[in-house]
Structure 1
């Protein structure tokens, strides 16, 4: 998987190619804005670079943790290098651990679709290939129905000129990405990809849902 983006320099335009990956967080009780997280559940999404997607979900009230990883393919224990070959079937994905008493699955879906171009096929922004395709991994019939209904609603709304390309498939397994990919946007704000792709994408989401953001985000 390669992340290609453009940066304007005084002497011209250079094409930079960067990459992405995952980490898992330990279970703990977190106090956020005086709210103690109750019983949590998990949800799984893919929509391009997991650096961006992880940071988007972690900024939401009710989300305890978001972890970058790989899902949707056939290769066991895939590495970033494996997924980069586009032969594993996996997409860069994120595991979202959230408190349904604070934020609903429906709200997660709303943010998920609005934080990307859901009509882009096999890619997101400057990143192209199967490993960057957009996928909702449902774990039960309720999640499947909610995802399919929302996708249908968007397709019929006239908001987009092209059909929604997001795949909706059953969840099988999530493979945690390498540690250096975890919290990448937060830990590497100086990275050119983060500055030119991740941060603008995250800020576009925040502008749409200011009421959903944690304090400090």
Structure 2
């Protein structure tokens, strides 16, 4: 028993060490990007604006945002990397630098960017590095993208508040200047809605959506339910 407990203790320490190292690398990459890249601002179109987030599997995140009042559409794709035209297969190698992300098309008269940020942090494990739930790897890391300094200030203030709760340096999300969003393959779009009996959707995606809906009922569209 003592040997088993010792082995578990060592395994836990190694896991925590690897997580800390991964988070340090992510934060170094974040600092480099903020220093060397100017954010790209996407112009509003027909009164609608766009925002970009990465938080684990994009099937889950897409469904969460589509349940929010003021969100017209949520599109699955890839962002945050260094290669052109990423695919699901290439991004899953972890070598493109891209993470599974979503493009949120929203009405700022109904829902603010600040509220979308609250949705982002409120629908994930904010301390999990390079993944969410069972999905692990750099392609599943959390990234919140800003298009201008006003957005960055909102994000930074939310992180400061969260760090008071979880501890300084414990928030895993990278804060990156937005560069480009690559739309994912067609079969990924509205995946949860179109594949309700998929085992992953049943066991991971829908429970994550329900947890969010229970936490933020005031933000939901009238027909947003599972």
Deviations 1:82-110 (A, max 9, x none): 10111000000000000111001111111
Q: How does 1:92-131 map to 2 (within 5 A)?
A: 92-131=100-139
Tell me, yes or no, if the aligned pair for 1:119 and 1:162 is still in contact at 8 Å.
Answer: no
When the two structures are aligned, how many residues end up with a matched partner?
A: 180
Q: How does 1:1-217 map to 2 (within 5 A)?
A: 39-156=47-164, 158-159=165-166, 163-217=170-224
TM-score by length of 1: 0.80
Is the radius of gyration larger for structure 1 or structure 2? 2
After superposing on structure 2, the runs of 4+ consecutive aligned residues of structure 1 that deviate more than 3 Å are: 159-162
CA distance in 1, matches of 2:203, 2:190: 17
Tell me, yes or no, if the aligned pair for 1:138 and 1:168 is still in contact at 8 Å.
Answer: yes
Deviations 1:57-86 (A, max 9, x none): 000000000000000001100111110111
Supply the RMSD in Å over aligned alpha carbons: 1.5
CA distance in 1, matches of 2:89, 2:173: 24
TM-score by length of 2: 0.77
CA distance in 1, matches of 2:206, 2:166: 24
Q: Bigger shift: 74-83 or 159-168?
A: 159-168
Unpaired runs of 5+ residues, structure 2, are 1-45
Unpaired runs of 5+ residues, structure 1, are 1-37
Greater share of residues in helix: 2
Cα distance 1:150–1:161, how it changes in 2: closer, same or farther (>3 A)?
A: closer
Greater share of residues in strand: 1
Deviations 1:109-162 (A, max 9, x none): 111101000100011100100000000010010111100110111101x25697
